[in-house]
């Protein structure tokens, strides 16, 4: 019973465990993969933070998988990310583009513009 109450407030405990496990996998990567993966993870949280916990966890797990495979295969970092790390990061996050923080503001903007338009065409000066 207590666990359900806690999860209601904090979110899924299972997702938190998966998140921590994926983060630990990234931390355990050999260099230079660990540095690259950590830098990308940080950018992910600032660029396209996904609000859905399950999607965020899946993105991080897939990210850890990518870098573990690269480390095992000895794939050079630039062969993974290409010439533009920002483009790589933003494309990677876009693949998980569920709900994002900005979605709420986009909806507010669209609604505000529609209301302003309605006021100027329907409720203008007499």
Q: Is residue 106 part of a domain?
A: no
**Residue 126 confidence (pLDDT):** 44
What pLDDT score does 9 carry?
Answer: 56
In a domain, residue 43? The reply is yes
DSSP states along 35-75 = HHHHHHHHHHHHH--BS-HHHHHHHHHHHHHHHHHHHHHT-
Give per-residue pLDDT as tens, 5-51.
555 555 578 889 999 999 999 999 999 999 999 999 999 888 865 66
| Domain, as residue range, for 58 | 2-101
Does residue 115 belong to any structural domain of this protein? no
**Does residue 124 carry a pLDDT above 60?**
no
Residue 89 lies in a domain: yes
Number of domains observed in the structure of the chain = 1
Angle at 46 between CA 31 and CA 67, to 5 degrees: 25
Domain harbouring 7, CATH code: 1.10.1900.10
Q: Is residue 107, in this structure, part of any structural domain at all?
A: no
pLDDT in tens, 66-118: 999 999 999 999 999 999 999 999 899 888 876 666 778 888 999 999 999 99
Q: Is 116 inside any structural domain?
A: no
Q: Is 47 inside a domain boundary?
A: yes
In a domain, 93, yes or no: yes
């Amino acid at each position: 019973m207590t666990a359900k109450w806690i999860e209601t407030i904090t979110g899924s405990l299972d997702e938190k465990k998966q998140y921590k496990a994926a983060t630990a996998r990234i931390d355990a990567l050999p260099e230079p993969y660990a540095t690259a993966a950590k830098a990308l993870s940080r950018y992910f949280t600032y660029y396209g933070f996904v609000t859905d916990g399950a999607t965020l966890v899946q993105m991080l797990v897939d990210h850890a998988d990518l870098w573990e495979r690269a480390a095992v295969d000895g794939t050079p970092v630039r062969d993974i990310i290409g010439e533009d790390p920002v483009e790589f990061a933003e494309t990677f996050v876009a693949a998980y583009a569920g709900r994002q923080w900005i979605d709420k503001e986009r909806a507010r903007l669209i609604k505000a513009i529609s209301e302003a338009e309605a006021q100027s065409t329907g409720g203008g000066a007499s």
